[in-house]
Structure 1
Amino acid sequence: MSKIPTLPGITSTMVATSRIQMHVLSSGPEAGEPVLFIHGNASSATFWEETMLALPDGFRAIAPDLRGYGETEDLLINATRGCGDWVDDLLALLDTLGINRCHAVGHSLGGVVLFNLIATAPQRIKTATLVATGSPYGFGGCKGLNGELCWPDGAGSGGGTVNQAFVERMAAGDTTEEAGPAAPRVVMNTYYWKPPFRPAREEALLASMLSEKVGPQRYPGDFKASPNWPGVAPGVWGPINAISPLYVGDAVERFIAADPKPPILWIRGADDQIVSDMSLFDVGTLGQLGVLPNWPGAEVHPPQPMIGQTRAVLERYAAAGGRFRELVFAECGHTPYIEHPDQFNAAFHEHLRNG
């Protein structure tokens, strides 16, 4: 049983793969067409439950807690492999479950993982749905539509860029709002969705957020002092280092060259504050806004054009023989499937059926 209460119709199990013991939520008929759900950072499979239960007849939902999250075995993430540990874990899970091909959905960090899953094993993916995905070049520390590093050491990305007060509140399991902007509940309700929206399962989603494994080698990961602004560069452990462009960006060319090329649906919110071309979680944006001192300027370290980078990569994917569709939901933040479930499911289900 999951430590976080699940909705009726959701099954919680531990699956022993060749790499890791994974906690997996599932729903739908065992013989159904499989759909793999990949959650984002500071969350877990719990975030997907309503979307899983809404799948059309004949589909089977499989939602694991990624390494470093939820109730999956607490093994370290080797960030120097980029998304490699997550990709290999997911492929091992599919192998253990006897699934040769599946549809796959990735939210936020999970979208970056899905880019890498396609780059590594495109023959395993029938369709891909990217939801408020991070840039395929990673998060922070890069510029331009080609994901060029702002600094050779990746400064401005990785574990050292995360708000330490928030990390402390995560480690403490803080469910209050007393810490103000650093409180996990406040962060969730300010940035995960567009205020004043509050989800019906707020307590379960907060518990999911707080289930991330926190520590110097876990979330957010270690870091190195850097002579380059803002003074920190990626370390080698943990999820935020794993999505640094220093380690993850080299998968882009493999993604574009993928054969076969699963059709891609990209859904995002128009008011997303986490993944955007002016992300409030990117040091380039904070420098430009004057929040971080000594910003070296837009030529050296601009806000990362996350949306522009993703679109440019998907356009290259299409030019190489793939296809994608971009949908932008109005009045929507970082979680379209929670904020606008009917609109999301209509597009998602059509993609599953026609992909």
Structure 2
Amino acid sequence: MKASERESFFKSLALYFVTIEILIGFLLYHNYREDVGSLKQQLFLEMKNYNFNFEGEKFALDFVPKQTEAPLLELREDGQTLYALFPLPANQRYLLKIYYPKADFKTQTGALLGRYLLFMLLLSAVVGAMAFGFARYTLRPLRSALALTDRFIKDIIHDLNTPVSAILINTSMLNREDKAVRRIEKSAKLIGMLYRNLQEYQGGLPQQRDTFRLDSLVAERLAFFQDLYPALTFRTALAPTTMRANPDALTRIVDNLLSNACKYNVKEGEVSLALSERTFSITNTAAAPIRSPRNLFDRFYKESERGIGIGLHIVKKLCDEERIAIAVTQRENRVTFTCTLPAGQTER
């Protein structure tokens, strides 16, 4: 099950389950309160009968001074008992108090509450099973849509590879000094980057690991972007660094971060790259501050109409696979992406 499917499944499950549970809980609580009221009513009726015959040991009685404000023939409670006051026909100074220990009444209501909780637990199990089935059922349209999208992307990947390769091969045989030829070549390379991003989105990058010079890889990819964005100023401080990792993954990370830094820069802005010890960072002057840094690596999240919103998501995905910690910070008009390389995989 894919991440989007899991998210949809658990949200549907939680929504259905919680909604029904709240409804059931409200109804059971209402019934519980009514049953407690019925217990009190039954207790009062038994007190009235006891007032006539004094049979049984369930209740205790006492005589209390009569007070004008004392309510008669009504079940009341104090700190220790539930009681009712009854008049004495031959005595105008005292009232008969019949009472029942509150601890015993709490035992009764506790047993009643236990039955309701057990019933609630059984209902919750039934509702949980229904919610699971409901969530699985609602997941079908999403799975169909995702399967259709995956097939569409796979078809695009397959159809992109051949024409892009043909364009690059043929432009290499033309006059490289011709501006039109260079523009065609640049556009073909950008399409090639999109192709590789889509390939990674589908999980199609090779997984082999190798030892390579990370500073040389960064310099090579930087040369490509310098050619694409001649108006930008690029500054570098790349210390010689050897790394053991997936070179294709690191290429995608560097490409997408550089592409992001160039596309969302200001006119005649700057891009600075730094590589030292276990830290690689890219800083660019920003056309606008990042509105939601926490969502920046989410799939399909975009802060403008440009792009398709998978570049930084792929960066985060590949960084997680390579155990690289990535963070974004912004200060004044500059944005910095910092990659902390895993210990034991780099050397100077």
Q: TM-score range by the shorter chain?
A: under 0.3
Higher normalized helix content (fraction of residues): 2
Output the TM-score relative to the length of structure 2: 0.24
Computing the radius of gyration from Cα coordinates, the structure with the larger value is 2
Point out which structure has higher relative CO (alpha carbons under 8 A, 6+ apart).
1
